[in-house]
Amino acid sequence: MIATSKTEWRWIGPLCGLLAAVGYTATNICLRSVTNIDSAYVAFIRSIPTLLLVLPLLMVRTAQGQSLVAPKTHVFWLVVTGVFTQIFGNVLFQWSLGIIGLALSVPLVFGSMIIGSAVIGAVVLKEPIRKSTSGAIILLLAAVTILTIGAQNGIGPTKLNPQQMGLVTLAVVGNMISGFAYSALGAVMRRGMKAGMSTEMTLLLLSLVGLISLGSWSLVRVGPDYMLQLSSGDYGKMLGAGTLNAVSFYSLATALKRLNVVYVHIINASQAAMAALAGVLIFAEPLTAYLVFGISLTAIGLTLPAYSSLFSAGAKKPSAQNVDAQNVGTRNGGGLDSIANDPPQFPKSPKAPVVIPLGDVLVEESS
């Protein structure tokens, strides 16, 4: 019975990680299919499912007697950063999808996000940058450059003439700004959660920020008549994107409780590859040497820090007894419970990554 239980638990982490990667890709496919709709309104509608899904979780926490109170300072900065990310992250990313397409936008955002996360971690949070992270940044900068050149050579859903080259450049810059916005939100989320703010409360605040800021913006910008003329299929895609995004977030959160941080980088790389594949196969975006080379460099850059983690873990060579004790202690908040009754788990990084449910991407805490 115990062996069967262990086998079942061992597959939960990888399956949830795969589900998250596929779910985030499906989210971006839905978003790519509604690029004809106002970007702010799309971001507003897709924030609704997250709020509806987080409310029952908050009710459960309340019923269990858990505190929902969050430090006021962290709430303030989360709201400010949330508004910034909604506009310069979600809205700008949605607009860029309609200009340069899915295959280009996702790797550009990933590359910019990792670079921004490292910069913010070093400058603001005073976190050191590892050598592997520096190497990853160099590769990602090269990938961003190659993808930008590819975009300026006509990659994407829009057939551009030389006079429209500035529009492509703006879209590329917009994706980079989106990545930096997600990095900033990740830093604020990390500090808030370290101060005791729960994941559910974080999601509630970010969802409310999206509903209020983007809802009022959309009401003024497009008006009720525009909202009413959209088809039920359009609303289905937008709500589907929000639902898939929320489900993928919780799947990823479950996976990260059981997987090494190495797998976070693999999930990131797989999302970039799947987004490119979806862009080519579903939306007929051109497959070029620029795209293949740029995505390959992105995948290598996203997974490079993983090798450092593996080598560091191998260099320490802890005893099997210490590894088991450390794993059990990590899973149970630092206490040592029965190893026989605890489900197996991949070795965890000392710092668990924090995922961001708003931009279909995740930010890893720098180390």
pLDDT at 80: 93
3-state secondary structure of 340: coil
pLDDT-wise least confident of 157-171, 214-228, 299-313: 299-313
The whole-angstrom separation of Cα 218 and Cα 305 is 40
Q: Maximum CA pair distance of the chain?
A: 68
Which range of residues forms the domain containing residue 104? 2-363
- 3-state SS, residue 356: strand
Per-residue pLDDT tens for 84-131? 999 999 999 999 999 888 988 888 888 888 788 778 877 876 777 777
Residue 287 φ then ψ, to 5°:
-95, 110
Entry pTM: 0.76
Number of domains composing the chain: 1
**Residue 324 confidence class, pLDDT cut points 50, 70, 90:** very low
Instruction: Please state, in angstroms and rounded to a whole number, the distance separating the CA atoms of residues 100 and 198.
Output: 37
- Select, from the ranges 16-20, 48-52, 130-134, 305-309, the one with the highest average predicted confidence (pLDDT): 48-52
